[in-house]
Copies of this chain bind each other. A is one copy, B any other.
Amino acid sequence: MSRKLRMGMVGGGQGAFIGGVHRIAAGIDGQIELVCGALHIDPEIAILSGQDLYLNPGRIYKTYHEMFEKESKLSAEERMDFVSIVTPNHVHFEPTKLALENGFHVVCEKPMSFSLDEALQLQKLVKETGLTFALTHTYTGYPMVKQAREMCTSGTFGKVRKIVVEYPQGWLSTPLEQTGQQQATWRTDPKRSGKAGSVGDIGTHAENLAETITGLKISELSADVSTFVENRLLDDDANVLLRFDSGAKGVLHCSQICAGEENAIKIKAY
Contact = CB atoms under 8 A, between A and B. Distances in A.
A243 interface: yes
Integer count of this chain's copies in the complex: 4
A226 interface: yes
Contact of A270 (B29, B257, B270): B257
Interface string A41-66: 00000000001011000000000000
18 contacts: A2-B51, A2-B54, A3-B54, A30-B34, A30-B53, A30-B54, A157-B259, A162-B228, A164-B166, A164-B253, A224-B249, A226-B249, A237-B249, A239-B249, A251-B251, A251-B253, A260-B270, A261-B270
A29 B34 CA distance: 13
Given A162-B228, A255-B270, A260-B270, 20 more contacts: A2-B54, A3-B54, A23-B30, A24-B28, A27-B27, A28-B28, A30-B34, A30-B53, A30-B54, A161-B257, A162-B257, A162-B258, A222-B222, A224-B241, A237-B249, A239-B242, A251-B251, A251-B253, A258-B268, A261-B270
Contacts of A28: 24, 27-28
A250 interface: yes
A151 to B, nearest CB: 13
A170 interface: yes
B222 A270 contact: no
Interface in A198-249: 222, 224, 226, 228, 237, 239, 241-243, 249
